[in-house]
Chains A and B, each alone.
Chain A
Amino acid sequence: MTTVNMMINGQAYGPMDVRDDLTMNDFLRECLGMTGTKFGCGAGQCLSCSVIVDNPDGTSHTNPTCIVSAANFNGKKIRTIEGHAKNGELTILQKSFIEHFSFQCGYCTPGFLNEGQVLLERLEKKPLVREDLESAIGEALDGHLCRCTGYVKYHEAVKAAILKEPKRYLKDGGR
């Protein structure tokens, strides 16, 4: 057993004793009842289970939870889909997903949303030139599997969210 403490969506959890081989996905879904993070494959292949990990250096990345133990997340700060909206106000990316009809069944949406959010935050710190935008979105989202949509509308939604504030995400305001 390992005693874990972690910060999830700004709220402290722990100390809690968990089995060493308990996955982070089961910790979220079975122990905490936070089922916004989905279970898709249990093999780290579909990434519907991804969460955002906020690193001490101020950077963030996504991490699958289905093949990584909860113990591995001990002491970390993470964000899940339940934590994006603040006080009921959706983020730009959540709104963009909805307005673009990005998802259908929606089961893969948490992974895409987290990945897109990390991309937005990365671009905010390190803007891209406009002509590299599509390929950057493509590279960011490519590991995530979706069976309903054909991916197009996810890409469109992320792109639209970025182009809504080009000065924030693109070099020279995207010119």
Chain B
Amino acid sequence: MKATRREFVQWAVASGISLGVSRIGVAEIPGFLSHETLPGRGTKTPKTGRVDGVAKATGAKLYASDFRASDLPGWPPETSHALLVRTPNATHIYLGLDLERLSKIARPSVLVTSEDMKRVNIRVPEFYAGDLFCPAGTTPVYLGQPVAMLIFEKFDVFDQARLALRDGNFLKFGKETGPLTLPNYGAFRFTRVAGATPSDPDVYSPVQAGWISPGFLESSGRPIWKPLPVAKGSEYVKGATYGEEIRAKLASKDPDVLMLDRKFETQSVDPMFLEPEAGLAWYDPASKKLETVLGVQSPFEATESLAHLLGEAIPTLKPKIIDAQFAYVGGGFGGRDHTPFTLYVGLAGMFFPGHPVRLAHDRFQQFQGGVKRHAFKMRTQMSVDRATGKITAFAADHVLDGGGLMNYSPSVATVGGTGALGIYDVPRVDVTTVAEHTRGVTAGSMRGYGTLQTMTALESLVDEICTLLPMDQVEFRRRNALRLGGKIMTGHAYSVSVRTSEILDKLEVHPIWANRAEEKARAKPGFLIGTGVAIAAKDYGTGADCSLGRVEIDADGRISIHSDAVEMGNGIGTALANRVSYHVGGIADEVTVAQVDAFDVLELVKTGDPFTMSQDAQDAGAKNTRWVPEISSATSASIGAHVGTHAAAQAARIIFRFGLWPAALVLWGIAPSDPRAKQSEEAYWQGDTLVMTGLDPLPLKNIAAKAHRLNLVTGATAHAFSRWSWSQASFLISGETWSTDIDALAVRYGGSKFTRLDRSSVTFPPTDFNRIGVAFASLCGTGVRVEIEKATGKLQIVKAYSVLECGKALVPEVVVGQSQGGFAMGVGYALFENLPPFEDGPGNGQWNLGQYLIARGSDLPLHDLEIEILPPVSSNEPPKGMAEVVMIPVVPALLSAIYDAIGHRFQSLPVTQQMIKDAIA
């Protein structure tokens, strides 16, 4: 058997299944990749805009939901359709599906249940641990848990079944058991006691002592946070003892100190990406090859998970090859990062061998089964010295509703916890957080990732403190803002720019804030005016971020880029094209994203988990020149610019330095011994022309042709890994040692094939960096003015202003667009969106956009929404992730403005029109 083999993945999954994304030869029907490889700007009209602009404005097939078997060369022409049947009940024993009654309406060709999972030995990847289908005779673990998958050969039969299952009750339930009680997904405590002065080392911090979790639970399953006197778990006792001291101090009465203790609740919401999840799978039993088309934020993970799922299946249902292809994504917002949907797509293909099967959620099913944002219950305490207005201590307790499966709950809990201090510098901090299992729909990754919730509670508390002190809201923040070099909750300092003071200055002088009193006094009869302001610092990066990039220039100067990053609207393709053009002059002619096998030549291998591996394990792994801590990571908007473009940019830099530059020297007639030959950094591109002072400008086309003729470097493939700093390695290229922020490299000379280069040395960021929690953050401040009609409680945002910093903005138009979109999503979160927990919530399968309201154009100040991007601190400041932070401050700013207008503070979300009306009354 000849596999479309990538050794590194085979090594990783060790399941004997080959994985690949093979280039399908273009026959009569355009291949999948011909849809997904888009022309760069400049090759077709128009000359501006996104690289995917024309495709998206003309309705091209791009998204996973667009493809059918007949679109894919080599596939059978007919598409069958699968339907996931999910339970709306998680308190009674599930007895089974009334197939007899359903079959009178629409008879499925295949029924897949929990029994089949056991029968064919399906393995559930650890991340998705739990029954893929609820076994008959047991209580479902959560609302929306699949109980069966039905596969229909013909669309019409499928469609009739879909409609019948939505309206009728075909699931049989027995006695009531109540919801299942399962262990929480993770509990953590972050305690920091600063030294006597900012320059002194911390007395205690997570970076020093490691992260701690309580080892004991109450009978309810809640953690016991008190430091129990036991020998085991002494690390916890030490941290918890400091934490309890902080709480005792907060509880003590001191007239010189203002202490506020507030509860705040946030709701569950849906990512509500416009394209419901969809995928296509075809298992050919003759070749034992499973082909899929998927749309996810984490293609590498999805491919590995499919391999794990089927890795020990019975021989007739174990593919030898999995060929996964990834499409553009119709919105992600985190909700397609590690989605279990992929597993069901794979199963759909496997259980109807020989037939391409499509599994696609409708919106009801997407609400019922898609990953949600965690609802938080929070208690927050803060003490402030009345004389100085300085925060002296902070404590918080977070309880997250993780829903039915673990997914990213522990991670969201820790990110929300470590982000709970926002922009502030506080010497004594104690935060506990626990993510609980409930029978709700599974919660996971979503834009803001826990910090939207905790910073909303924080900023609302700060707003109230400012009222009570009293002190101007901007001035209070200025006095307490973390400065460059200051330590965050984990005891570590951000390693990127921290521009709080600039953002506060901008907010302070902006007319929205500066004129707030006059505007309030100018309210029309029957209306109230309020102004609010808030600021947030949101981390970006995960601590195990990877970047894969391949850049090639042909003899005509045509540039192509391949990347493993996923385009989900974040403009990553355009950002790649722009960042690469900085080094090689031209805008790419082709950009292909979501690739996981375009980098085979690197032959990468990995071992273990980059988040938990020991230093010894990393050192041992690093001895293999093909080893990296992680190969590919999920795409999120907030790391798209920073991570997604990094490897391609490094590859482009190498092409310039070892290909285009020496070719240019030859064209200029400059000998290698000439001092100018060493001055490559002084050359720059004007469009596709290379400019060097005192020399003739050279068109890229001519340089590329010369580089090919001289057999210089014309292509580079690179891998990079970041654990809060990039790995660094050295390579021998064209006889010269080149050290840079990558850890694997292959190059192409002239028109030859790529050749992998062994690194001569490598430094991976130490594993201790996993304690940092976060080292990169971007800031955004928002001011809003609202007008509220007294009689109805109707709120209108009349003006808004967001100011943010993101280092170098690779595509400023996209940054502005993401900021506007983040603002809108924040407005929806603050005022409209709400999914009730449990039986009344989305798990009942009855939710759609009629009940679930997101912000519409008329809810926003479309003509009075001002976005300001601070210029980078220096010309070489790298791009910073910004797509999450921009949705956060609008939420507490709105709460602040509502308080300013009506004099009532809301401590839960969303704040609906009815709530405002009731408060006014």
Interface residues of A (CB under 8 A from B): 19, 21-22, 26, 30, 33-43, 45-46, 48, 80-82, 84-85, 90, 94-95, 97-101, 103-110, 113, 134, 138, 141-155
- Taking a contact as CB atoms under 8 Å apart, the answer to whether A81 and B58 are in contact is yes
- Taking a contact as CB atoms under 8 Å apart, the answer to whether A104 and B850 are in contact is no
- Taking a contact as CB atoms under 8 Å apart, the answer to whether A101 and B817 are in contact is yes
Cα(A148)–Cα(B49), bound, Å:
16
- Taking a contact as CB atoms under 8 Å apart, the answer to whether B59 and A36 are in contact is yes
Give residues 858-876 of B contacting A (CB, 8 Å). 858, 860, 862-863, 865
Closest chain B residue, CB of each to CB of A101: B813
Residue B622, interface by CB 8 Å: no
- Using known A-B contacts A105-B329, A149-B817, determine if residue A142 contacts B857 with beta carbons closer than 8 Å: yes
What's the least CB distance linking B747 to chain A, in Å? 34
What's the least CB distance linking A172 to chain B, in Å? 22
- Taking a contact as CB atoms under 8 Å apart, the answer to whether B155 and A42 are in contact is no
- Taking a contact as CB atoms under 8 Å apart, the answer to whether B274 and A108 are in contact is yes
- Using known A-B contacts A37-B59, A42-B362, A42-B363, determine if residue A30 contacts B155 with beta carbons closer than 8 Å: yes
Which residues of A lie under 8 Å from residue B155 when comparing CB positions? 26, 30
Give residues 259-275 of B contacting A (CB, 8 Å). 271-275
Which listed residue (B50, B55, B160, B330) contacts A107, Cβ 8 A? B330
New contact pairs (13) apart from A85-B58, A106-B328, A142-B856, CB-CB < 8 Å: A35-B66, A36-B58, A43-B363, A45-B850, A98-B48, A107-B274, A143-B856, A144-B857, A145-B274, A147-B333, A148-B569, A150-B821, A153-B817
- Taking a contact as CB atoms under 8 Å apart, the answer to whether B70 and A33 are in contact is yes
What are 14 sample pairs from A and B whose C-beta atoms fall under 8 A apart?
A33-B70, A35-B59, A35-B61, A40-B274, A45-B848, A100-B813, A104-B570, A104-B814, A146-B821, A147-B274, A148-B817, A151-B856, A151-B862, A155-B863
- Taking a contact as CB atoms under 8 Å apart, the answer to whether B569 and A104 are in contact is yes
What's the least CB distance linking B28 to chain A, in Å? 15
Which residues of B lie under 8 Å from residue A149 when comparing CB positions? 817, 820-821, 824
Residue B854, interface by CB 8 Å: yes
Cα(A110)–Cα(B330), bound, Å:
12
Which residues of B lie under 8 Å from residue A144 when comparing CB positions? 857
- Taking a contact as CB atoms under 8 Å apart, the answer to whether B49 and A98 are in contact is yes
Which residues of B lie under 8 Å from residue A85 when comparing CB positions? 58
Residue B849, interface by CB 8 Å: yes
Binary contact readout B791-821 vs A (1 if CB under 8 angstroms, 0 otherwise):
0000000000000000000010110111111
Size of the B side of the interface (Cβ < 8 Å), in residues, is: 71
What's the least CB distance linking A74 to chain B, in Å? 18
What's the least CB distance linking A98 to chain B, in Å? 4
Closest 6 CB pairs of A and B: A36-B59, A105-B569, A150-B820, A106-B56, A104-B569, A107-B330
Which residues of A lie under 8 Å from residue B571 when comparing CB positions? 101, 104
Which listed residue (A22, A95, A104, A138) contacts B46, Cβ 8 A? A95
Cα(A146)–Cα(B67), bound, Å:
22
Cα(A80)–Cα(B858), bound, Å:
25
Interface residues of B (CB under 8 A from A): 45-46, 48-50, 52-63, 65-68, 70-71, 155-156, 159-160, 163, 271-276, 328-333, 362-364, 568-571, 811, 813-814, 816-825, 848-850, 854, 856-858, 860, 862-863, 865
User: Which of A82, A85, A109 has the largest number of chain B CB atoms within 10 A?
Assistant: A109
- Using known A-B contacts A36-B59, A98-B57, A147-B825, determine if residue A105 contacts B273 with beta carbons closer than 8 Å: yes
What's the least CB distance linking B880 to chain A, in Å? 19
Question: What total of A-B pairs shows CB separation below 8 Å?
Answer: 192
Cα(A46)–Cα(B163), bound, Å:
20
Which residues of B lie under 8 Å from residue A19 when comparing CB positions? 156, 159-160
Cα(A48)–Cα(B56), bound, Å:
13
What's the least CB distance linking B559 to chain A, in Å? 20
User: Which of B54, B56, B332, B811 has the largest number of chain A CB atoms within 10 A?
Assistant: B56
Cα(A95)–Cα(B56), bound, Å:
11
Which residues of B lie under 8 Å from residue A99 when comparing CB positions? 46, 48-49
Which residues of B lie under 8 Å from residue A109 when comparing CB positions? 56-57
Which listed residue (A26, A41, A90, A138) contacts B848, Cβ 8 A? A41
- Using known A-B contacts A99-B48, A138-B857, determine if residue A81 contacts B59 with beta carbons closer than 8 Å: yes
Which residues of B lie under 8 Å from residue A37 when comparing CB positions? 59
Which residues of B lie under 8 Å from residue A21 when comparing CB positions? 163
Which listed residue (B50, B53, B65, B570) contacts A35, Cβ 8 A? B65
- Using known A-B contacts A48-B274, A99-B49, determine if residue A150 contacts B817 with beta carbons closer than 8 Å: yes
Which residues of A lie under 8 Å from residue B156 when comparing CB positions? 19, 22
Cα(A98)–Cα(B329), bound, Å:
18
Cα(A82)–Cα(B816), bound, Å:
28
- Using known A-B contacts A138-B858, A147-B821, determine if residue A106 contacts B569 with beta carbons closer than 8 Å: yes
- Taking a contact as CB atoms under 8 Å apart, the answer to whether A41 and B849 are in contact is yes
Closest chain B residue, CB of each to CB of A111: B274
Which residues of B lie under 8 Å from residue A100 when comparing CB positions? 813
Cα(A128)–Cα(B116), bound, Å:
64
Which residues of B lie under 8 Å from residue A41 when comparing CB positions? 363, 848-849
- Taking a contact as CB atoms under 8 Å apart, the answer to whether A90 and B331 are in contact is no
- Taking a contact as CB atoms under 8 Å apart, the answer to whether A39 and B276 are in contact is yes
Closest chain B residue, CB of each to CB of A30: B155
Closest chain A residue, CB of each to CB of B330: A107
- Taking a contact as CB atoms under 8 Å apart, the answer to whether A90 and B58 are in contact is yes
- Taking a contact as CB atoms under 8 Å apart, the answer to whether B822 and A150 are in contact is yes
Which residues of A lie under 8 Å from residue B66 when comparing CB positions? 35
- Taking a contact as CB atoms under 8 Å apart, the answer to whether A106 and B330 are in contact is yes
Which residues of B lie under 8 Å from residue A146 when comparing CB positions? 274, 821, 824
Which listed residue (B46, B824, B849) contacts A46, Cβ 8 A? B849
Which listed residue (A39, A107, A152, A153) contacts B331, Cβ 8 A? A107
Closest chain B residue, CB of each to CB of A21: B163
Which listed residue (A26, A43, A98, A105) contacts B275, Cβ 8 A? A105
Which residues of A lie under 8 Å from residue B333 when comparing CB positions? 147
- Taking a contact as CB atoms under 8 Å apart, the answer to whether A105 and B857 are in contact is no
Which residues of B lie under 8 Å from residue A107 when comparing CB positions? 63, 273-275, 330-331
Which residues of B lie under 8 Å from residue A26 when comparing CB positions? 155, 159
Which residues of A lie under 8 Å from residue B271 when comparing CB positions? 147
User: Which of A21, A39, A106, A146 has the largest number of chain B CB atoms within 10 A?
Assistant: A106
- Taking a contact as CB atoms under 8 Å apart, the answer to whether B363 and A152 are in contact is no
Cα(A90)–Cα(B333), bound, Å:
30
What's the least CB distance linking A99 to chain B, in Å? 5
Which residues of A lie under 8 Å from residue B823 when comparing CB positions? 150
Which residues of A lie under 8 Å from residue B59 when comparing CB positions? 34-37, 80-82, 110
- Using known A-B contacts A46-B274, A155-B862, determine if residue A145 contacts B363 with beta carbons closer than 8 Å: no
What's the least CB distance linking B21 to chain A, in Å? 21
- Taking a contact as CB atoms under 8 Å apart, the answer to whether B363 and A106 are in contact is no
- Taking a contact as CB atoms under 8 Å apart, the answer to whether A38 and B862 are in contact is no
- Taking a contact as CB atoms under 8 Å apart, the answer to whether A105 and B71 are in contact is no
Which residues of B lie under 8 Å from residue A38 when comparing CB positions? 65, 274-275, 330
Which residues of A lie under 8 Å from residue B850 when comparing CB positions? 43, 45
Cα(A154)–Cα(B58), bound, Å:
15
Cα(A138)–Cα(B813), bound, Å:
22
Cα(A71)–Cα(B329), bound, Å:
31
Cα(A128)–Cα(B58), bound, Å:
28
Which residues of A lie under 8 Å from residue B62 when comparing CB positions? 106
Closest chain A residue, CB of each to CB of B366: A41
- Using known A-B contacts A39-B276, A45-B848, A155-B862, determine if residue A145 contacts B854 with beta carbons closer than 8 Å: yes
- Taking a contact as CB atoms under 8 Å apart, the answer to whether A97 and B57 are in contact is yes
Cα(A151)–Cα(B817), bound, Å:
9
- Taking a contact as CB atoms under 8 Å apart, the answer to whether B865 and A150 are in contact is yes
What's the least CB distance linking A16 to chain B, in Å? 13
What's the least CB distance linking B580 to chain A, in Å? 19
Cα(A153)–Cα(B71), bound, Å:
32
Which residues of B lie under 8 Å from residue A40 when comparing CB positions? 274-276, 363, 849
What's the least CB distance linking B359 to chain A, in Å? 14
Cα(A18)–Cα(B858), bound, Å:
38
What's the least CB distance linking A40 to chain B, in Å? 5
What's the least CB distance linking A94 to chain B, in Å? 4
- Taking a contact as CB atoms under 8 Å apart, the answer to whether B857 and A151 are in contact is yes
- Using known A-B contacts A26-B155, A104-B818, determine if residue A90 contacts B57 with beta carbons closer than 8 Å: yes
- Taking a contact as CB atoms under 8 Å apart, the answer to whether B824 and A150 are in contact is yes
